[in-house]
Structure 1
Amino acid sequence: MKALFSGLALACGLMFSTHASVASAQETARAEAKNVVLVHGAWADGSSWSDVIPYLTAAGLNVISVQNPLTSLQDDAATAKRALALVNGPTVLAGHSYAGNVISEIGDDPKVSALVYVAARAPDAGEDFNALASRFPTMPVRAGIETHNGFSTIAKDAFLKFFANGVPAEKAQTLFAVQQPVATDLFAGKTTTAAWHTKPSWYAVSKDDQTTSPDLQRFLANRMHATTVELDSGHLSLVSHPKEIADLILEAAGIPSH
């Protein structure tokens, strides 16, 4: 009987050791992330990450900021996939705003070690995200959206006051000048994958967001069981709070911030 108990104890010990080793291996894999692929949102371009990138490169990460065409979810996903194909090894995939759709769609790639959502959409596979968002307050920027020839932009007053709230005036003017029009049916695209179900996820909530409801952001972060931070920021936290966003990405990469 003593031998039986000893055998059981040994087996349990081996099982515990195996589980601990797996957990340790998962942590090590995430800690070994050497790349970051940054995906911008609607009415913006890759330069919206410009103030975050220096913090990431200073930490030794290889960084790519994609340039989405914003013509369809499929087109944007294909663009981000091409960027992801250029890097080797574990990679953090980060998306701002609409780009949460993109990183959810392609984040099941084996080289993606973690996902970071910045005031971002995070739909489930096949979910009607517009229907979900309608359960939360409509934000002021909506009234400033204008449509011309199948593409939409944000009128200047609404862009500066609501989309770029909290951003220094000169910087906000520059962002308005480079805003990229989006296809009017862009937000109707549905993801086929929700990578946050299987990949470790982080979420930065913008508490003073006038574009995407902060309560919607909190709902999404909670649903994906993300490691979450809340920032005293408008929608463009990657511009107004670049260090905090960089720190979150570094945490997802397993790299201590300074």
Structure 2
Amino acid sequence: MRNLHKNLKTGLLAGALILAASATSAYAAPVKNVVLVHGAFVSGAGWQPVYNILTRDGYHVTLVQEPLTSYREDVTATTRVLAKLQGPAILVGHSYGGAIITEAGNDPHVAGLVYIAAHAPEEGESEAANGKKWPNSAHPFERSPDGFLTIDPAVFHADFAADLPRKQAEFEAHAQIPTAAAVFTTTITHPAWKTKPSWYMVAKADKIINPELERMYAKRAHSHTVEIDGASHSVYESHPQAVAQLIEEAARLAQP
């Protein structure tokens, strides 16, 4: 009987250790879902170089195509994608997409946030208000009679994508998605970066968002931060390897 109790105790202990090891392994496993959110004026197509790297490295990558008709509709488009995922995700936003992930990042699927030359407003802040405090060096946007904004194609290359080939920038300039002006004045209500770990890439030659504003966002959110020399606002296209590397770092370190 004594041996039976001893063997039972040993078996239970071994089982507990196996379960603990499995739990630890699962907890430490990298996040494999990545959701990419584009910014104003452009579509998700610009993420293709980053998408190619991440999928090659074994990540399941989904792109959000926001309507750019209202902030709430853009957040909803993002949470709709998150709802279809199995398991945790890294949520990535470029430019205005950062404001989107700041709210959508509260979704329980999101394990970490990655901001690529992006806005990360505080509660009660808007992109437009922060842009007045830290002015950019780009030309003013063009406004349609019904309240939608675009970038003048004549300055798109210099202002938005100076480190891309001119022909590529010219194509993107004429493929712009008009963006409702109201998205830039909508205030944030519940910033996810207060409760979720974040990573931030500063584009040091950005003319659309002042690099000092980007640094402020990163410092305030206690983000793991990298800065890219000579990078324009289109850093997600011009430096896809560095962007993918930052996303993969987030996937390794963020714990669901």
* Residues 197, 28 of structure 1: alpha-carbon distance in 2 compared, 3 angstrom cutoff: farther
TM-score, normalisation: structure 1: 0.84
Displaced runs of 4 or more, over 3 A = 27-31
1:205-255 CA-to-partner distances (Å, cap 9, x unmatched) read 000001100000000000000000101200010110011001100110018
C-alpha root-mean-square deviation of aligned residues, in Å? 1.9
Q: Give 2:79's aligned residue.
A: 81
Alignment of 1:101-250 (within 5 A): 101-141=99-139, 143-232=140-229, 233-250=231-248
- Would you say the 8 A contact 1:30–1:113 is kept in 2? no
1:51-89 CA-to-partner distances (Å, cap 9, x unmatched) read 110011011111111110011110000000111111111
* Residues 40, 29 of structure 1: alpha-carbon distance in 2 compared, 3 angstrom cutoff: farther
Alignment counterpart, residue 37 of structure 1, candidates 29, 35, 40: 35
Unaligned runs of 5+ in 2: 1-19
- Would you say the 8 A contact 1:37–1:65 is kept in 2? yes
* Alignment coverage as a number of residue pairs: 231
TM-score, normalisation: structure 2: 0.85
Q: Give 2:8's aligned residue.
A: none
* Residues 178, 136 of structure 1: alpha-carbon distance in 2 compared, 3 angstrom cutoff: same
Indicate the larger mover: 184-193 or 126-135. Answer: 126-135
For 1:228 and 1:214, the matched residues in 2 are separated by 12
- Would you say the 8 A contact 1:30–1:252 is kept in 2? no
1:153-173 CA-to-partner distances (Å, cap 9, x unmatched) read 111112111111111112112
Q: Give 1:93's aligned residue.
A: 91
* Residues 221, 31 of structure 1: alpha-carbon distance in 2 compared, 3 angstrom cutoff: farther
Q: Percent identity?
A: 42
The Cα shift of 1:148 comes to 3.9
Unaligned runs of 5+ in 1: 1-20
For 1:207 and 1:31, the matched residues in 2 are separated by 33
Q: Give 2:11's aligned residue.
A: none
Structure number with larger C-alpha Rg: 2
The Cα shift of 1:28 comes to 6.0
* Alignment-mate amino acid for residue 184 of structure 1: A
- Would you say the 8 A contact 2:141–2:149 is kept in 1? no
Q: Give 2:15's aligned residue.
A: none
